[in-house]
Amino acid sequence: MTQKNIVLSYLKNKRRWIPSYDLVKIATPYGFLPKNGDRRARELVAAGIVEREIGKNLRNVRNSEGMPVEGKVACFRVKKGIGS
């Protein structure tokens, strides 16, 4: 499975906004994402598969530790209707 496929599968499974730093150096059920997992998410945005938004523009977005996402952190999610 490619890193892009791992990111896409992970985002599909989560069904919510995920901060970019939660896509770096993590083990997922689909495989390990090294330090460039967020870069692969941006490539999926360019392909029109994933949405990107700045955390401060979103409501109730939390990171993997349950803390609110603040500031200019990029967040990603699969576009609605893709892989539902």
Q: Are strands 31-33 and 50-54 parallel, antiparallel or unpaired?
A: unpaired
Identify the pLDDT of residue 80.
Answer: 82
| In-domain check, residue 84 | no
Task: Give 35-84 pLDDT, tens digit per residue.
Answer: 999 999 999 999 999 999 998 888 888 888 888 888 889 999 999 877 65
Domain that holds residue 58: 3-78
Return the CATH number at 14: 1.10.10
Counting every residue written for the chain, the total comes to 84
Identify the pLDDT of residue 84.
Answer: 53
Task: Give 7-21 pLDDT, tens digit per residue.
Answer: 999 999 999 999 999
Looking at the whole model, is its pTM more than 0.85?
Answer: yes
pLDDT surpassing 80 at residue 34: yes
Identify the pLDDT of residue 19.
Answer: 94
The rounded distance, in Å, linking the Cα atoms of 58 and 19 is 11
Q: Is 33 left (phi over 0), alpha (psi -120 to 50) or beta?
A: beta
| In-domain check, residue 83 | no
| In-domain check, residue 40 | yes
